[in-house]
Amino acid sequence: MAKFLIDANLPYRFSIWHGRDFIHQFDLGDEWTDQKIWNYARKNKLTVVTKDTDFSNLVMTSTPPPKVIHLKVGNMKINELHAFIHKTWEEIVELNKNYRLIRVYKNQIETIN
């Protein structure tokens, strides 16, 4: 069963996000609104992985599920983003167990309960 919903604003073909723990928004429908994504994630108890600030704002006004991992890393080349995610993903997953919002920056990770 999936644990993470990867938002459409993130690459579909990242190897780290393939497997039974992940579902990409494109697998659901590429025309989904943020609210439809949010409701799907809530119903299925998923964590939304996104670069979209709207999801960070939504999680601040609700209780989990869903949780949000907000990648605030700016514009990175695909290979840089891939290397960054590979380097930090294990730590992010651990933090996701205890926090409803994780903001990931290039040089730090911020958690909000």
Domain parsing of the chain, residue ranges? 4-112
Which is more confidently placed, 88 or 18?
A: 88
pTM to 2 decimal places: 0.94
Given this model, what pLDDT does residue 42 score? 95
**Predicted pLDDT of residue 47:** 97
Is the predicted pLDDT of residue 30 greater than 90, yes or no?
no
Residue 20 neighbours by CB under 8 Å, 6+ apart: 1, 2
Tokens read off for 85:
């995610």
What does the mean pLDDT of the chain come to?
A: 92
Q: Which residue matches tokens 């996104």? A: 50
Residue 107 pLDDT greater than 80, yes or no: yes
Q: What is the pLDDT of residue 43?
A: 96
Reported confidence tier of residue 12, pLDDT bands at 50, 70, 90? confident
